[in-house]
Structure 1
């Protein structure tokens, strides 16, 4: 199962807010020996959100979706998820309970009695309307839950708020509660060098040779233009299956030596 991330909201694409979900998920996965496979940013366009979810629901991926699950007019994710699945939106009884708990907590903080049937509080219950059959994701920050949709065979979608202070702990809960069996299962490793006197075009044939010879290895090339403190260089490396990476790396070094390319080992 690949792991993906959807980040939904015009505020990210316009630059009003900087995305922090991507870095957080990469961090959480890395500490558990896991890796993010893909990520997409989507604006508040219902048709595009629905089409994207239809495509990702058809996969077996583990997908985290952040943003758009509130109850204001620009929050489309809950409705789009239901449309993508062909399911009705229904008020989840557990979500209703948690939302009403939050309403009561807020009222007590203000020294008031909660008015659960007040129009604004009835509107807040829309945050608990999820595609039929959804499961809850607890929110330790303010109790308003997210929701998940399991795929028929494997994988699932996890829908979280757009606020990183909420989404981060909820991502962590999903990983630690549902996927501990996947922690540190990967046997992939990465090895690289910094080449100091070569152009990418001159190194491309060597890179193509390595990928053709080692089917479980990917080659990567990351040029650095250099600055006052750092010499211009290319980080050239191989990543993938731990056994093949060792052999591929030796082939890489031999190829660089044969081409009289200066290099130093990366840390």
Structure 2
């Protein structure tokens, strides 16, 4: 696998945008990526609007990113992801014989006339097994299309990572941070800029917080390879002590 491959996530469904349902795909995918030393680069949440789906998928297909797409692959008229993916690639929808076989084995005669429509994928797609109810997802051009149900999608995501990206595993990163008490982020900008120049392999983060009582604190820390993260944290502590800044461990 090429160095620098980015992972993206597209979450599809009007019910997510309206907050009728709360998304779980982002947390589930992060839980699978982090132990492998991988991370998401971007996330998009879209409704079931065909034109917007087509435009977004055209862009992501051209990006070269590995993209997980969750939702909208059912057989009802408001499920438009399969059709939009085909249109974005200028391909015909075609019934995948393995997907048809899975759906027939699961539902028998009840596979027709509607459930079998879920076996129609952009021509040239491969299937993604669905252990929950045997209605497969599909993959094409490093895009992995799965249902909107998290209990189905999480094991399908895991299968994709194990099948296509086993060689992408890296040493899992760790976070190390402290909490600055009664500090202001603006006081740390120059230090943070210098830190990023000195430690480009670490991700520096600063998370301010204001308590109910109005007290300001800052979670200041780093994420990266364990040994280097320890070095980075020590550099932060050195600066904190030099400034005589009050802090507490996390």
Give the structure-1-normalised TM-score.
Answer: 0.84
Count of aligned pairs: 246
Greater radius of gyration (CA):
1
Shift of 1:188: 4.0
2:30 pairs with 26, 29, 35, which one?
Answer: 26
Shift of 1:239: 2.4
Shift of 1:200: 1.0
1:110 maps to none
2:125 pairs with 134, 146, 154, which one?
Answer: 134
Is residue 92 of structure 2 the alignment partner of residue 101 of structure 1?
A: no
Gaps of 5+ in 1: 105-113, 151-155
Shift of 1:250: 3.1
Gaps of 5+ in 2: none
Distance 2:151 2:20 in 1: 17
2:15 pairs with 4, 11, 14, which one?
Answer: 11
Q: Which runs of 4 or more aligned residues in structure 1 lie more than 6 Å from their structure 2 counterparts after TM superposition?
A: none
1:194 maps to 179
2:247 maps to 263
Q: Identify which range, 241-250 or 130-139, moves more after superposition.
A: 241-250
Give the structure-2-normalised TM-score.
Answer: 0.90
Shift of 1:181: 2.2
For residues 217-236 of structure 1, the aligned pairs below 5 Å read 217-227=202-212, 232-236=216-220
Q: Identify which range, 28-37 or 122-131, moves more after superposition.
A: 28-37
2:236 maps to 252
Secondary structure of residue in 2 paired with 1:65: strand
Distance 1:127 1:35, change over 3 A: same
Distance 1:214 1:23 in 2: 28
Distance 1:43 1:263 in 2: 44
Question: Does structure 1 conserve the Cα–Cα contact (< 8 Å) formed by 2:182 and 2:215?
Answer: no
Secondary structure of residue in 2 paired with 1:236: strand
